[in-house]
Amino acid sequence: MKKPNDVIIRSVSKVAVVIILTFAINLFISGHHNPGGGFIGGLAFSSALILLFLSFDIETVRKNIPLDFKILAAVGVLISVSTGGGSMLFDVPFLTQAYGYFNLPIFGKTELATAVIFDIGVALAVIGTSITIILTIGDDR
Amino acid sequence: MNVINQIELAAVFLILVGTIASFLSAIGFIRLPDLYTRAHALSKGSTMGVLFILVGTFFFFFIDGYFSIRLFLGILFVFLTAPVSAHVIVRAAYRSNVPLAKESVRDDLKEVLQEEVYNHK
């Protein structure tokens, strides 16, 4: 077995993954007023993980991210459904969203909406599904 | 001519330079003989073209007071990753024995790779 000789791609992907993850979170946050949102944010996030899987091997990344992505997808669907169902507790129809302005310590006046929680669910479902697809195709077991 | 127009002119000039660089790299892709020289023309030329276009766009929106962090991040990201992708493509091509152009005179990597194979057997 030859020793892998890929210093360049490994060290560059370490830097690139940080940038992609930052951009994924930026896409996710800006989804309410600008292009972006849960789906594209989740896809960008999972593309960063796939870059890690490509430049390092699957076992190393799995050991460092001990997360079952099938469970992650299930948790995402659960979050989305429960935000939809949570609106029924307040006597409004299913999937009604609410928003309000709050004074947070660092951010100042921020708009917080329950649609963000729905979007978190969508993003987790997308990350879980895409990584599960890639891992089940790529794994030998 | 006021200052804002001059910045706008500089932005347009940068975009023009970027377009010309991209066009030259496309010509290099058609004209050059083998994969390695084509990768040389494409990676450098198109990276420079995209960088100049992005910097020009950045300045163009910067006049209106809009600091586009996405464009800034994109400039950084293209500058970081495009040469590496060219490196990986050329490396994969060399390892799968894509021939060099007829005009090439020496191949230093070949001896190194053969030595590596010899040492591991």
Distance in angstroms (rounded) separating the CA atoms of residues B83 and B97? 21
**DSSP state letters, A80-138:** HHHHHHHHHHTTS-TT---EEEEEETTTEEEEEEHHHHHHHHHHHHHHHHHHHHHHHHH
pLDDT confidence tier of residue B2, bands split at 50, 70 and 90: low
Does residue B121 or residue A97 have the better pLDDT? Answer: A97
Does residue B66 or residue A128 have the better pLDDT? Answer: A128
Per-residue pLDDT at A61: 87
CB pairs under 8 A between A and B: 23
The mean pLDDT of B64-77, rounded to a whole number, is 86
pLDDT confidence tier of residue B108, bands split at 50, 70 and 90: confident
Interface residues on B facing A, Cβ-Cβ cutoff 8 A: 69-70, 73, 76-77, 80-81, 84, 87-88, 116, 120
Q: Exposed, middle or buried by CB within 10 Å (0-12, 13-18, 19+), for B5?
A: exposed
Q: Exposed, middle or buried by CB within 10 Å (0-12, 13-18, 19+), for A52?
A: buried
pTM listed for this prediction: 0.81
Per-residue pLDDT at A16: 92
pLDDT digits (tens, 9 = 90+) for A53-97: 988 888 888 888 888 899 999 999 999 999 888 888 888 888 888
pLDDT digits (tens, 9 = 90+) for B44-57: 999 999 999 999 99
The CA distance from B63 to the nearest CA of chain A, in Å, is 21
pLDDT confidence tier of residue A1, bands split at 50, 70 and 90: very low
Distance in angstroms (rounded) separating the CA atoms of residues B23 and A117? 46
Query: By percentage, how much of chain A surpasses pLDDT 70?
Result: 96
Q: Helices in B1-121 by DSSP H: which ranges?
A: 3-31, 35-62, 69-95, 108-120
pLDDT digits (tens, 9 = 90+) for A105-129: 777 777 778 888 899 999 999 999 9
Are the Cβ atoms of B84 and A19 closer than 8 angstroms? Answer: no
